[in-house]
Amino acid sequence: MRSHPALLVAPLCLLLCGGAAAGAPRTFVWKRQPSEARVRACLVEMRRVVEAAGPLIAGPSGQGDPVLGSLRLALNGRGDEAGEPFRFPGEPGVNSCDTRHQPYDAVVVACLLVAHDHFPPHILKVLPAGDWEKGAALYRQVFDRLPHVPRELAEVPPLFERRSAKDRFLVPGVLFIVLVLLGVLFVCRPRPLFVIPIRDGTARAAGGHAPPWFLSEVNELCASHALSKGAIRGFPARKRVSLSFSHHVPLSCRQRLRNFWASHV
C-alpha cells in the first residue's frame, strides 16, 4: 500500500510543533494526607488571593462565583478566559490544572505558593511548569512579602527565560520545512505507468499504456468476481512493474492478477 506524502510529513510536524500550543499545567502532588486544620488555614490565605483578583475569577465551569468553602476551593477563568478548573485540596495523589496561559494562571500560581507555605515537601510537592513571575507578583501584592519559592521551581528558569529569541521563529520555520518536504515528495513521487479504473464492472485504461492482454484479464476477473469498482495502477520498480490496487479489489483478485502479470512479462 502506498503512503500519501502528507502522512509521511505529519508526524514530523506534530513532533516539532507540538510544544508550541501547549498550555501551562500547574501540578501539585499530595504525598501524605493533609490535616484538616492545615487545609483550613491554607484556604483562608488562598481566599485573600482570589478576592484580590476580583472579577477575573469565576466558578469551576467558567461562570458564576468561585467556590470558597472552609475546606474546599474551586475556581477558573471567566468566560472565554477559562481553562481547566483549579481545585484545592483536590484529590489524593496528583492534581493538575492546565490554565492554557489564561490570566487566571497567576491566581493559581499564587495559591500554590500559599500551599507551599503551609505544607512541607514531605506532604505536598509543587511541580515546576511555565512562568511563575506573575503569580509571585500577585502573592507579593496580597501578602506584602516575598514568596518562598519551592526549590524545584527555583532551579528551573521560567518558560520565557528558557526560550531564546530564535525560538519565536520555530513554528514558521518548521512549517516552511514541512511545505518544502511536501513539495519534494510531490515532485519525486513515482508516476504510474498505467491506470485502470473499474466502473460498473468494466475496466478501461485511463492513463499510460496498459497492455491489452492485461486489460482483458482484468475484465474477466471483474465478471467472475462481480467486481463493480476499483482501480489498478502499475508503478515502475527497477526492472519490473509493481501493481497497486485500491481497497475495493479483494486480496484473492490481487494475487491472481500479480501471478498473471508475472507469467506474461
For the segment 52-81, the average pLDDT, to the nearest whole number, is 93
Q: What percent of the chain has pLDDT over 90?
A: 44
Q: Is residue 21 part of a domain?
A: yes
Contact between residue 148 and residue 119 where contact means Cβ atoms under 8 Å apart: no
Does the pTM exceed 0.85?
Answer: no
CB atoms within 10 A of CB 197: 16
Give the pLDDT confidence of 165-182 residue by residue, as tens digits. 455 556 677 787 888 888
> What does each C-alpha distance from 110 to 46, 135, 136, 140, 141 come to in angstroms?
8, 5, 6, 9, 10
Q: Is the pLDDT of residue 160 over 50?
A: no
Q: Is residue 121 part of a domain?
A: yes
Containing domain of residue 66, as a range?
5-166
Q: Is residue 223 part of a domain?
A: yes
Query: Is the domain of 160 the same as that of 201?
Result: no
Ranking 42-51, 78-87, 111-120, 143-152 by mean pLDDT, the lowest is: 143-152
Give the pLDDT confidence of 234-244 residue by residue, as tens digits. 888 777 888 98
Q: Is residue 181 part of a domain?
A: no
Q: Round to whole Å and give the CA distance between 8 and 117.
A: 50
Residue 96 pLDDT class (50, 70, 90 cuts): very high
Query: Is the domain of 72 the same as that of 134?
Result: yes
DSSP strand pairing (194-199 vs 207-208): antiparallel
Q: Is residue 177 part of a domain?
A: no
Residue 234, beta-bridge partner list: 194, 243
pLDDT given for residue 154 in this prediction: 55
